[in-house]
């Protein structure tokens, strides 16, 4: 049985990945609201996911407003799918 | 918006495998597609084309403009330009974009571009707009209905796609009335049903 990915066992990181898997892209503000997270904590957790190349974070301006856009990467999709499979194996589901 | 269970979204703790699966299921359910959001293009086209077709019918039959009063195709072309711009703006400004929203916006942008290309070609080629416009619009509507898993829209798309077949023996003036009726059934009815759907 494969070990669970420690990056995805944290609730906030796992929650963010579960939302991003369904999205082409999401703004930081939307993600913060959807996860009921604080700005600082979400920033820290997203940077850990970015360091592992699970997500990409792009900052740009839309009109006069800054927009932080987050996308899941192919590496992230694979890591998430593997994680779900490993969880099911661990719990003897399927 | 439904908020995730705060007991699950803790600051630093790691979750048990059971809780992790529970969190994934809850979060994915929370990010469910908002169907009512997809109603706008169908309501826009439904009203634009049905009213234009009816006005066109009146002008054609009861005004001095005669054949010069064919508004339906130039207005459909302007509508296609508006929709391409609408989707581009929506993609840029909305706070999140699901894969389905992205797919549908690209689909309609491509079909809009095909309609524009066709509108250009029709000026020097012998092509029937009564075949092309309903066919392209019907194709996009069927794909949208299937992707959204919304049967009234799929049926509306089939009705539109088959328009060139069942309208073959209808006179030019009556075509406008028939087209208005088909657009009401294919776009407005499913559009309003879709609008009532919650997330």
Q: Which two tokens stand for residue A9?
A: 């066992």
> Cα torsion for A83, A89, A92, A94, to the nearest 10°?
80
Please indicate if any CB of chain B lies within 8 Å of the CB of A29: yes
Bridge partners, residue A55, by sequence:
A72
8 Å CB contact of A33 and B15: no
pLDDT of residue B198: 64
Indicate which of A22, A32, A64, A66 best probes the interface with B, i.e. most B CBs within 10 Å of its own CB: A22
**Residue B7 burial by CB count (10 A; 0-12/13-18/19+): exposed, middle or buried?**
exposed
For B12, nearest residue in chain A (alpha carbons): A10
pLDDT of residue B43: 94
For B31, nearest residue in chain A (alpha carbons): A19
Indicate which of B88, B96, B97, B104 best probes the interface with A, i.e. most A CBs within 10 Å of its own CB: B96
d(CA A42, nearest CA chain B) in Å: 9
Q: What is the mean pLDDT of residues A68-81?
A: 95
Higher pLDDT, A11 or A94: A11
pLDDT of residue B69: 66
Q: Which two tokens stand for residue B86?
A: 């609408």
pLDDT of residue B11: 44
CB contacts < 8 A (A, B): 91
Residue stretches of chain B with pLDDT short of 70 = 1-13, 66-69, 198-199
pLDDT of residue B68: 67
User: B6 to chain A: which residues are within 8 Å by CB?
Assistant: 36
Whole-model pTM?
A: 0.79
Phi, psi of B27 (to 5 degrees): -70, -40
Who's near B165: CB < 8 A, 6+ residues apart? Answer: none
d(CA B110, nearest CA chain A) in Å: 19
Name the residue facing B96 among A23, A84, A93 (closest C-beta). A23
User: A12 to chain B: which residues are within 8 Å by CB?
Assistant: 9-11
Q: What's the mean pLDDT when you consider all of chain A?
A: 91
Contact B36, B195 (CB under 8 A): yes
d(CA B87, nearest CA chain A) in Å: 15
User: B93 to chain A: which residues are within 8 Å by CB?
Assistant: 62
Who's near A25: CB < 8 A, 6+ residues apart? Answer: A69, A70, A71, B96, B97
Indicate which of B3, B17, B20 best probes the interface with A, i.e. most A CBs within 10 Å of its own CB: B20
**Interval A35-51: pLDDT, tens:** 999 999 999 999 999 99
d(CA A39, nearest CA chain B) in Å: 12
Kindly indicate the confidence band of residue A94, based on its pLDDT and cuts at 50, 70 and 90. low
Q: How far is CA B28 from CA A17, A25, B48, B96, B123, in A?
A: 10, 15, 36, 14, 50
Contact B43, B191 (CB under 8 A): yes
pLDDT of residue B83: 82
8 Å CB contact of A4 and B17: yes
Who's near B70: CB < 8 A, 6+ residues apart? Answer: B56, B60
**Interval A6-65: pLDDT, tens:** 899 899 999 999 999 989 999 999 999 999 999 999 999 999 999 999 999 999 887 788
8 Å CB contact of A22 and B8: no
**Residue B75's closest CA among B51, B57, B93, B97?**
B51
């Amino acid at each position: 049985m494969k070990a669970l990915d420690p990056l995805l066992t944290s609730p906030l990181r796992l929650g963010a990945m579960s939302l991003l898997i369904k999205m082409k892209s999401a703004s930081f503000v939307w993600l913060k609201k959807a996860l009921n997270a604080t700005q600082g904590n979400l920033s820290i957790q997203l940077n850990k996911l970015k360091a592992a190349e699970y997500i990409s974070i792009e900052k740009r301006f839309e009109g006069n407003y800054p927009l932080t856009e987050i996308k899941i990467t192919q590496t992230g999709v694979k890591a998430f799918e593997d994680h779900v499979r490993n969880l099911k194996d661990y719990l003897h589901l399927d | 918006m439904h908020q995730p269970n705060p007991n699950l979204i803790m600051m630093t703790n790691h979750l048990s495998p059971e809780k992790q699966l529970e969190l994934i299921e809850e979060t994915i359910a929370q990010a469910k597609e908002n169907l009512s959001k997809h109603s706008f293009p169908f309501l826009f086209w439904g009203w634009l084309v049905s009213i234009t077709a009816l006005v066109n019918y009146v002008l054609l039959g009861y005004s001095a403009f005669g054949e010069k009063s064919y508004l339906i195709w130039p207005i459909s072309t302007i509508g296609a330009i508006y929709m391409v711009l609408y989707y581009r703006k929506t993609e840029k400004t909305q706070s999140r974009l699901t894969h389905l929203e992205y797919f549908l916006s690209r689909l309609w942008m491509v079909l809009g571009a095909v309609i524009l290309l066709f509108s250009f070609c029709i000026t020097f080629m012998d092509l029937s707009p009564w075949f092309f416009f309903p066919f392209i619009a019907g194709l996009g509507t069927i794909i949208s209905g299937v992707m959204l898993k919304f049967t009234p829209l799929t049926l509306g798309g089939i009705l539109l796609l088959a328009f060139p077949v069942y309208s073959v023996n209808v006179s030019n003036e009556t075509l406008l009335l028939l087209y208005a009726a088909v657009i009401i059934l294919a776009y407005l009815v499913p559009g309003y049903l879709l609008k009532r759907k919650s997330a």
